[in-house]
DNA sequence: GTCTATAGAACGATAGAC
DNA sequence: GTCTATCGTTCTATAGAC
């Protein structure tokens, strides 16, 4: 149920590759990051990178796979809820958790224009599309605007060095509270 | 006082160039947009593009120049205000106006990682830095988080096709109201 | 102002040795 | 798993004709 993106190469070097690639993707964008730059940062050759992934696109998808899976699971949890308030509450808590726990992947996925096209071409944008549907679901325009602004806005505090020093717990609490205030949600309907 | 980015080439073709380049930049990012792609979209050759700007960086800066100038002016208006509420109110109205009127430039400037570095290298990031200082100014963490989330979050509704059909006036009103709710601002202190 | 043609570098990707 | 070496393509940028 959580396989999602298919086979991914095993090995220990893969973890370092994911780390380095993700950091550079978040810093310069995926189009602005060459495989040469990644290899240099790792202290290996470009061919060594190609051992782990056969194409650059697959590398990007491999780095982003964990969030894609989490997103799918989150959307399922939301749609399982009944009632407008319960869904909004689940959405706020879910998206905040996801964004705080994987803030670099979140930034690359939501911020980079090239990634959106890539995910769509590989039919992996389903999670985002369903999330977008949920965002558009509310009848009133006011809630739709607030919801769209909130999800995208998570990028801001998460890539601000001054705010990330607060630590995950404080950040999570702050962002959840901001989301509730924005969407005018009462606290925890059916926890 | 509003010269800002220095001399920019004149001529009518420049306007079309700005239009086409901006649209592609917003769609694929600046690193994902080649001068060849811009030339093709315009129906001219690559060399024709180089007539207007000597480098790609200068083209990017030329396209973004209007927002850079507006941002500088906005920061001046904010710092001229006295009092926490007045400043927050001015900031919300200013940034919403800027984002709605130039939403593509706003998206490229705020969303593209490569642009941030470019502006910094050309000492044009001053406006954003001062805005960032204003965002960090409030004593309480809660307001800083909300402010950061709000500014970045404007990207969301602005690039959602379903929401942009609402038109600039409705969008402006909606976003301003969301901002006030988020930052708990009373209406128009000293208009 | 726009063109053709091209230089020179960087890119993604592959082959084959170790 | 990592290397060197290389292929073919695309990129930014320039030169010079019209």
C-alpha distance from A10 to closest chain B C-alpha (Å)? 30
Task: Write out pLDDT tens, residues B163-173.
Answer: 999 999 999 99
Q: HSE of A169 in the Cβ direction (CA atoms, 13 Å)?
A: 0
Per-residue pLDDT, A4 = 45
Does residue B32 carry a pLDDT above 60?
yes
Question: Which chain B residues are within 8 Å of A181, Cβ to Cβ?
Answer: 146, 181-182
- Model's pTM, two decimal places? 0.93
Question: Which chain B residues are within 8 Å of A174, Cβ to Cβ?
Answer: 141-142, 145
Does residue B9 carry a pLDDT above 70?
no
Mean pLDDT in residue range B122-149? 90
Per-residue pLDDT, B190 = 53
Per-residue pLDDT, A2 = 44
Question: Which chain B residues are within 8 Å of A162, Cβ to Cβ?
Answer: 136, 144
Per-residue pLDDT, A171 = 98
Q: Is the CB of A54 under 7 A from strand C?
A: yes
- Residue nearest the C1' of C13 (CA based): A55
Per-residue pLDDT, A12 = 79
Nearest CA in chain A to B155: A152
Q: Which domains does chain B have, with CATH numbers?
A: 13-183 (1.10.357.10)
Q: Is the CB of B13 under 7 A from strand C?
A: yes
Does residue B28 carry a pLDDT above 70?
yes
Task: Write out pLDDT tens, residues B51-103.
Answer: 999 999 999 999 999 999 999 999 999 999 998 899 999 999 999 999 999 99
Burial bucket for residue B11 (CB in 10 Å: 0-12, 13-18, 19+): exposed
Mean pLDDT in residue range B122-137? 89
B68 alpha carbon, distance to own chain's centre = 7
Residue B77 near residue B94, CB atoms below 8 Å: yes
- Helix B113-121 vs helix B103-111: angle between axes, to the nearest 10 degrees? 90
Q: Is the CB of A56 under 7 A from strand C?
A: yes
Residue B126 CB neighbours (<10 A): 14
Nearest CA in chain A to B177: A142
Q: Is the CB of A57 under 7 A from strand C?
A: yes
Q: Is the CB of A41 under 7 A from strand C?
A: no
B119-122 long-range contacts (CB < 8 A, ≥24 apart) are B119/B61, B119/B64, B119/B68, B122/B57, B122/B61
* CA/C1' separation A54–C15 (Å): 14
Across chain B, mean pLDDT equals 91
Residue of B154, B156, B165 to mutate for A, most A C-beta atoms under 10 A: B156
pLDDT block averages, 10 residues each, chain A of length 191: 48 91 98 98 98 98 96 95 92 98 97 95 92 83 95 96 95 98 78 54
Per-residue pLDDT, B107 = 97
Q: Is the CB of B190 under 7 A from strand C?
A: no
pLDDT band at B1 (very low <50, low <70, confident <90, very high): very low
Does A135 or B120 have the greater pLDDT score? B120
Q: Do A149 and B153 touch (CB under 8 A)?
A: yes
In the numeric block, the tokens 């409030």 are attached to B138
Residue B118 near residue B61, CB atoms below 8 Å: yes
Query: Measured between CB atoms, does B152 come within 8 Å of chain A?
Result: yes
Mean pLDDT in residue range B9-26? 89
Residues B152, A97: Cα–Cα separation, whole Å: 19
Sort residue A184 into left (φ over 0), alpha (ψ -120 to 50) or beta: left
Comparing CA positions, the residue from A147, A157, A156 lying closest to residue A182 is A147
Size of interface A-B (CB pairs under 8 A): 123
Residue A84 CB neighbours (<10 A): 14
* CA/C1' separation B37–D8 (Å): 20
pLDDT band at B3 (very low <50, low <70, confident <90, very high): very low
Residues B174, B154: Cα–Cα separation, whole Å: 11
C-alpha distance from A179 to closest chain B C-alpha (Å)? 9
Does residue B136 carry a pLDDT above 90?
no
Residue A106 near residue A131, CB atoms below 8 Å: no
Measured to protein CB atoms, the chain C nucleotides within 7 Å are 1-6, 10-16
């Amino acid at each position: 149920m959580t396989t999602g993106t298919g086979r991914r190469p095993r090995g220990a070097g893969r973890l370092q590759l994911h780390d380095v690639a993700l950091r550079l993707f978040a810093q310069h964008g995926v189009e602005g990051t060459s495989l040469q730059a990644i290899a240099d940062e790792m202290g290996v050759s470009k061919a060594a990178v190609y051992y782990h992934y056969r194409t650059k696109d697959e590398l990007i998808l491999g780095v982003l796979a964990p969030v894609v899976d989490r997103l799918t699971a989150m959307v399922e949890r939301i749609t399982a809820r009944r009632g407008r308030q319960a869904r909004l509450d689940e959405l706020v808590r879910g998206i905040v958790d996801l964004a705080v726990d994987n803030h670099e992947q979140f930034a690359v996925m939501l911020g980079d224009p090239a990634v959106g096209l890539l995910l769509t071409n590989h039919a992996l944008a389903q999670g985002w599309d369903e999330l977008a549907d949920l965002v558009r679901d509310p009848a009133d325009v006011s809630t739709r605007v607030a919801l769209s602004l909130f999800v995208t806005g998570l990028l801001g505090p998460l890539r601000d060095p001054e705010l990330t020093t607060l630590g995950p717990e404080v950040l999570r609490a702050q962002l959840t509270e901001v989301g509730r205030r924005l969407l005018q949600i009462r606290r925890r309907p059916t926890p």
